[in-house]
Amino acid sequence: MKIQKILVANRGEIALRIIKTIRELGLDSVAIYSDADIDGIHVHNADEAVFIPNGYLDQDQIIQKAKEMYVDAIHPGYGFLSENADFCRKVISAKIKWIGPDPETIELMGDKINSKELCLKEGIPTLLKTTNAKDATKIGFPLLVKASAGGGGKGMRIVENKEDLDEAIDAAKREAKSSFGDERIFLEKYIRKSRHIEVQILGDNYGNVVHLYERECSIQRRHQKIIEESPSPRLTSSLRSEITKSAVTLGSKIGYKSAGTVEYLFDEDTNEFWFLEVNTRLQVEHPVTELVTSVDLVKEQIKIAEGKKLSFKQKDIKQNGSAIEVRLYAENPKNNFLPEIGQITSLSYPDSKSVRWDIGIKKNDVITPNFDPMLAKIIAYGETRKQATSLLRKELENTHLAGIRTNKEFLIKCLENSSFKRGKTTSDFIERESKKLFVERSKKDVDILMKIATLWTHEKTKEENTRLAFLPRNWTNGTLPKSYVEYEHEEELFCYEYTAENQKILINRKLFERISTSTASNIKLTPEGITLQLDEKFITAKVTENKNNITLNDGFGDIVFKKLPKFSDPNELIIEGSLTAPMPGKILKINIKKGSQVSQGEALIILEAMKMEHTIKANTEGTVTEVFVKVGDQVENGADLMKVE
């Protein structure tokens, strides 16, 4: 059956990416949206869009709307209902094409326990695992607690010793239940120095299965990938042949159809690899495979769903050049990578020829705790890994994103890191390189950037003050102190003074005149920021101010300064000794009561945000004198939770 109209049962960047291929094929697209996404970028890019009141998990309503709009096929993207066998069956029963594998395959491979047992029977290397906590000692510590029905780091815990096992299992079950509706978990051996290697496969309805080589996705935080690349810098040609052959063998054995990914854990020291799981959907990191093989995976998925044979054989697929992808998240790397919310007040990026943006956000979008915090994927392609790394780094450095904290600067540090450049990208990368990855800008750079911010503030104020536009710069009918601006950055206070002199501005950091005095001239505001000559250097910078936060980009990454008000807010209240929410979320569990004695490190409150649990622990021993929240409360970032004295 020829497909003419496709409903995309997803949102954000992946919905937009699928819609792009649908348009290129000359087909019609239908987007769905919830209350939170009425102004979503995917909604405005589809040919048609339909409202789903209960959100992206309402299977029956999605199918009903698809029937009403005479849709031929549904593409689920990733996440949400993409690996839900029941939804797949309902779609097929409604005589609508499912763009993905059969429900039986989804059911078998989506269950990590059953899929591992199948691989054991087929002789595919598989790590030791158990569903019985009593057998944990047989596997040995450290081990991983993992959700059987899902991935993405949800329902996953590293357990170092027996004493922490029960708590980790309980938390993993709750998180798995919340994310996947299935609380089953299993225990698996944890390999500290490993690589995460996955193989992209494609299968049609006629038994043909091919691979599109491998991706390496070893750099992860909180068990979620943040950097992916193809080819892996570690695999030799013989290892590549061995691991891709294993993936094709498994795909053929289960009669795999559509696009799928076979994931492996690779031991850095022994060159052994073990089967982890099969993701029966499009992967977040699929663009790196598309760039090195020149195969549009969504296009192939649609053709397979139409009943067509694969148009190429294994020998036709080549792996050329190098592609690297980074995931741009709304999160704070310095706060254990916890999610952030807020409004995007400014967004601009070069969109260079060799860099691909899969993005689902735009200026003025509000990032809420209701969905995964990933904002975009940025993918660079080069003839060599070195070139791809350099292109991607420069793209990120020249990206200006204000209004919400992201991991952008952390990603730049990763790409600059010498270990990354040498391909030393094992799963312990962030822990191993942490001292280098969290390095701040030099004091000299910060000094220059604060001067630029101060000059921008001065010019902006002057431009907006139309009543006094007739007065010359720095005019006064009396003696006034120097103008100044105060900032807070990395818990340090800064004060910059400036004064006009012969069409120039002299500016310096207070009490540090000898090392920081500069002369600014040729100052001009631009729609995006400011241009000026500072001493003997010409500078162009993008500047955005939002709620006293100034975000500035000089071509080497964003930096944020908090501009302090001249007068303090008398209504601001700080409760000494209080525990505060590290992010917006819902109070899931409170472990103690008012009057309880607590010890340092004790788990006090469990907060759920973006479908993941976060434990709030006591930072000191003492007595709980106040509890400001109750189970079920929605709290904002920084909200007082309880007081310990």
Spell 11-30 as b/e; 16+ CB within 10 A means b.
Answer: bbbbbbbbbebbeebebbbb
Residue 103 has pLDDT above 50, yes or no: yes
* Tokens at 535, concatenated: 């001493």
Q: Which CATH class is domain 443-474+481-563?
A: alpha beta
pLDDT score of 150: 64
Structure confidence at residue 316 as a pLDDT band (50, 70, 90):
very high
Residue 152 has pLDDT above 70, yes or no: no
CA distance 422 to 416: 11
Provide the CB-side half-sphere exposure for 336 (13 A, CA). Answer: 8
What is residue 455's three-state secondary structure?
helix
Q: Mean pLDDT across the stretch 54-59?
A: 95
Which H or E run contains 120? Answer: helix 112-121
* Residue found under tokens 């936060």: 549
* Residue found under tokens 């819902």: 586
Laid out side by side, the sheet with 597-598 consists of: 578-580, 640-644, 622-627, 597-598
pLDDT score of 501: 84
Which H or E run contains 605? Answer: strand 603-609
Domain residue spans in the chain?
5-99, 129-189, 194-437, 443-474+481-563, 578-644
Whether a cis peptide bond, with omega within 30° of 0, leads into 231 is: yes
CA distance 210 to 251: 9
pLDDT score of 479: 44
Selected catalytic residue, list 195, 281, 356, 509: 281
- Considering only residues 133 and 550, tell me which one the structure prediction assigns the higher pLDDT: 550
Strands 640-644 and 622-627 come out as antiparallel
The amino acid sitting at 561 is F
For residue 45, give the DSSP letter. H
How many Cβ atoms sit within 10 Å of the Cβ of residue 601? 10
Instruction: Tell me whether residue 281 is one of the annotated catalytic residues.
Output: yes
**Report field, pTM of the whole predicted structure over 0.85:** no
Q: Mean pLDDT across the stretch 565-590?
A: 69
Instruction: Specify the fold of 194-437.
Output: D-amino Acid Aminotransferase; Chain A, domain 1 (3.30.470)
Structure confidence at residue 136 as a pLDDT band (50, 70, 90):
confident
CATH number of 578-644: 2.40.50.100
Q: Are 614 and 153 in contact (CB under 8 A)?
A: no
- Report pLDDT digits (tens) over 247-268: 999 999 999 999 999 999 999 9
* Tokens at 418, concatenated: 């010498």
Strands 273-279 and 258-267 come out as antiparallel
Strands 492-501 and 224-230 come out as unpaired
DSSP string, 345-365: -EEE----TTEEEEE---TTP
- Report pLDDT digits (tens) over 468-527: 555 555 555 444 467 899 999 988 999 999 998 888 999 999 876 666 789 999 999 999
How many Cβ atoms sit within 10 Å of the Cβ of residue 434? 11
Residue 193 has pLDDT above 90, yes or no: no
CA distance 392 to 396: 6
- Considering only residues 310 and 462, tell me which one the structure prediction assigns the higher pLDDT: 310
CATH number of 129-189: 3.30.1490.20
Least confident of 35-49, 145-159, 483-497: 145-159
Structure confidence at residue 553 as a pLDDT band (50, 70, 90):
very high
Cα of first residue to Cα of last residue in the chain, in angstroms, is 70
Residue 441 has pLDDT above 60, yes or no: yes
> Torsions phi, psi of 330, nearest 5?
-85, 95
Least confident of 6-10, 150-154, 298-302: 150-154
How many Cβ atoms sit within 10 Å of the Cβ of residue 69? 13
Structure confidence at residue 574 as a pLDDT band (50, 70, 90):
very low
- Report pLDDT digits (tens) over 367-403: 988 888 999 999 999 999 999 999 999 999 999 999 9
Burial degree of 177 (CB within 10 A; 0-12, 13-18, 19+): middle
Q: Mean pLDDT across the stretch 133-161?
A: 81
For residue 126, give the DSSP letter. B
State the average pLDDT for the chain: 90
Least confident of 255-264, 375-384, 433-442, 612-621: 612-621
CATH number of 5-99: 3.40.50.20
- Considering only residues 343 and 473, tell me which one the structure prediction assigns the higher pLDDT: 343
